[in-house]
Chain A
Amino acid sequence: MDDIAIIGVGLHPFGRFEGKSALEMGVDAVNDALKDAGVTWNDLQVAYGGSGHGGYADSLNSKFGFTGLPFYNVFNGCATAASALIGAATALKSGAADLALAVGFDKHPLGSFEMDPEEWGLKKWYAENGFMITTQYFAMKIQRYMYDYGITRDSLVRVAMKNYHNASLNPKAYRSKALDYETIANSIMLSDPLTQYMFCSPDEGAAAAILCRASDAKKYTTKPIYIKAYGLKSRTYESFEVVSPYKAIQNVPTVVEVAAEAAYKMAGIGPEEIQVAQVQDTEAGHEIMHIAELGLCKHGEQEQLIKDGETQIAGRIPVNTDGGLIGNGEPVGASALRQIYEVCIQMRGEAGAHQIPKPPKTAITQVYGMPGVAAVTILQM
């Protein structure tokens, strides 16, 4: 069966840009992707895009020209950009279109996300009681994981340190300053065991990708990158997810484990072939959990792996080479496409100061979105 190929990518820097709308950032990212692919807006036959706070993605039609382009708006929390990518890939695979755009952009207010429980199938009491805040969940999940698998706070600090360091080497990242161990460990406690600098911060940015079927790729580029697997899963009843007043007593594979297994099956490869991973480090604890959920190591092995530097850019299994969410911040509409962008520039050898010494050939990307959605892609050059 014909794979999907990425023939162009674009990224607007992540950070805070006063006076610039998320839509304008989206325009920049799309322009860069179109240029990278050597195509124009008029060549596109379908588009999928999304944003949390930046408005409707199909407003891009008004910026680029009303060509009658079928433009689907999507939203899946932090998995929004992955949903856009999957929508575009599915349209291509079905033959409904030959050239597709996937785009995401966002601009979040300062501070933690404020959410209305009634928009998420919950009742008012949940917010009134002080439970409608995502930072608590991440803390409770890693708290239990540390208990189950012997992970210590040292690992949390090291992961955050790595991602600030990687971001300091990435001119498009939000955080330009590497933070040292003490600064991260001693920053204010937000939700035990997670301190302020262990968390990512919602911010602003945009990313885009131009896709076609693999059989058409050579028309556009000599260096296509193939999406060997893509998929999105939502939670099962028993899995432990954000904003849930209960957790079933049965323990089951997480939604990320389920999505990853399906992706490896679709790609026909195993985790041992993965040479770089871009994962959802909403906070340091989740990077730790996700790398095991993606099969890159066993549960509990992370402590030693991280201490040995194996997840650094020059390590055996580099993770979040551009700084991840901790280093780039989290504009939910864009993040999954930032991960795709980063994999592409790494594979092409264009990552500059944060380049993996031997450009990787096989990569995995993963995002986790509210209220329990996992999206995984496997890319290969």
Chain B
Amino acid sequence: MAEKKQVPIDPELFVWPADNPELLGSKCGECKNVAFPVVKRCPKCSNENLTTVGLKTKGTLWTWTSQMFRPKNLVDNLDPKQFKPFYLGYVELPGEVRVQTRLFVEDSSQLKIGMSMELEIRKLRDESDGTEVMTYGFKPAVA
């Protein structure tokens, strides 16, 4: 049986499939700022001299929250009545940027500001043609 096709939720966010996935950002040739996600002009200094870079895959949890009710424009192709709360936050990638991200935990007791997190790519939804749409997130770092 053919393997299911997997695509990133947005190809500008990360390359997938990939053995060592990374989030993509833009490094400014002028002010050296690292932006996420990829941009055409530096959001700090407005310069157009940018290079696409792979961001660090490990960082620390800067803040977090839970999403306890279904956002109206979430697209997960699941029965809305079956909505399961999810977690999200910002993970600080050292020296680069803090990225807003899903947090792959089962409940809030697993989340503490300052903890180490690492990048993981997981399925967000199944499309009607069987394609799996993947999103990025961070999970507690394995020691």
Interface residues of chain A, those whose CB is within 8 Å of chain B, are: 111-112, 114-116, 123-125, 127-133, 136, 139-141, 143-144, 147, 188-193, 237-238, 244-249
Contact across chains for B124 and A140 when beta carbons are under 8 A apart: no
Q: Complex formed: what's the CA distance from A330 to B74 in Å?
A: 24
* Also in contact, A143 and B10, with CB within 8 A (given A129-B102, A130-B74): no
Give a binary string over B71-113; 1 marks a CB under 8 Å from any A CB, 0 the rest: 1111110000000001011101001111110100000100001
Find chain B residues with CB under 8 A from A127 CB: 71, 73-75
B side interface size, CB within 8 A: 40
Q: Complex formed: what's the CA distance from A115 to B71 in Å?
A: 10
Complex A-B, nearest 10 residue pairs according to Cβ-Cβ distance, in ascending order: A139-B65, A125-B10, A144-B63, A128-B75, A127-B73, A247-B98, A130-B74, A246-B36, A237-B44, A133-B71
* Also in contact, A112 and B67, with CB within 8 A (given A129-B9, A140-B89, A247-B97): no
Q: Which of B43, B64, B71, B86 contacts A143 (CB 8 A)?
A: B64
* Also in contact, A128 and B97, with CB within 8 A (given A189-B68, A191-B65): no
B48 → A minimal CB distance (Å): 16
Q: Write the chain A residue with the least CB distance to B9.
A: A125
Interface residues of chain B, those whose CB is within 8 Å of chain A, are: 9-10, 12-13, 33, 35-37, 43-44, 62-69, 71-76, 86, 88-90, 92, 95-100, 102, 108, 113, 124, 135
In the complex, 20 of the A-B residue pairs with CB atoms within 8 angstroms, ordered by the A residue number, are: A123-B12, A124-B10, A129-B9, A129-B102, A130-B74, A130-B88, A131-B71, A139-B66, A140-B65, A144-B113, A193-B65, A237-B44, A238-B44, A246-B36, A246-B97, A247-B62, A247-B97, A249-B92, A249-B97, A249-B98
Could you tell me the dominant secondary structure of chain A's interface residues?
Answer: loop
Q: Write the chain A residue with the least CB distance to B43.
A: A237
Q: Complex formed: what's the CA distance from A123 to B37 in Å?
A: 10
Contact across chains for A190 and B68 when beta carbons are under 8 A apart: yes
Contact across chains for B36 and A189 when beta carbons are under 8 A apart: no
Q: Complex formed: what's the CA distance from A224 to B67 in Å?
A: 47
Find chain A residues with CB under 8 A from B10 CB: 123-125
Find chain A residues with CB under 8 A from B73 CB: 114-116, 127-128, 132
Q: Complex formed: what's the CA distance from A245 to B89 in Å?
A: 10
Find chain B residues with CB under 8 A from A249 CB: 92, 95-98
Contact across chains for B62 and A144 when beta carbons are under 8 A apart: yes
Contact across chains for B108 and A192 when beta carbons are under 8 A apart: yes
5 new A-B contacts, CB < 8 A, other than A128-B9, A248-B98, are A114-B72, A129-B124, A130-B76, A139-B65, A140-B89
* Also in contact, A128 and B108, with CB within 8 A (given A140-B64, A192-B65, A246-B97): no
Q: Complex formed: what's the CA distance from A238 to B66 in Å?
A: 24
Find chain B residues with CB under 8 A from A143 CB: 63-65, 113
Q: Write the chain A residue with the least CB distance to B11.
A: A125
Find chain A residues with CB under 8 A from B98 CB: 246-249
Q: Write the chain B residue with the least CB distance to A244.
A: B100
Contact across chains for A191 and B66 when beta carbons are under 8 A apart: yes
Q: Complex formed: what's the CA distance from A114 to B70 in Å?
A: 12
Find chain A residues with CB under 8 A from B72 CB: 111-112, 114, 133
Q: Complex formed: what's the CA distance from A288 to B86 in Å?
A: 26
Find chain A residues with CB under 8 A from B66 CB: 139, 189, 191-192
Q: Complex formed: what's the CA distance from A191 to B37 in Å?
A: 24
Contact across chains for A141 and B63 when beta carbons are under 8 A apart: yes
Find chain B residues with CB under 8 A from A131 CB: 71, 88, 100
Contact across chains for A190 and B69 when beta carbons are under 8 A apart: yes
Find chain B residues with CB under 8 A from A114 CB: 72-73
Contact across chains for B75 and A133 when beta carbons are under 8 A apart: no
B35 → A minimal CB distance (Å): 7
A165 → B minimal CB distance (Å): 26
Q: Complex formed: what's the CA distance from A140 to B97 in Å?
A: 16
Contact across chains for A245 and B86 when beta carbons are under 8 A apart: no
Q: Complex formed: what's the CA distance from A113 to B102 in Å?
A: 21
A322 → B minimal CB distance (Å): 29
Q: Write the chain B residue with the least CB distance to A125.
A: B10
Find chain B residues with CB under 8 A from A123 CB: 10, 12
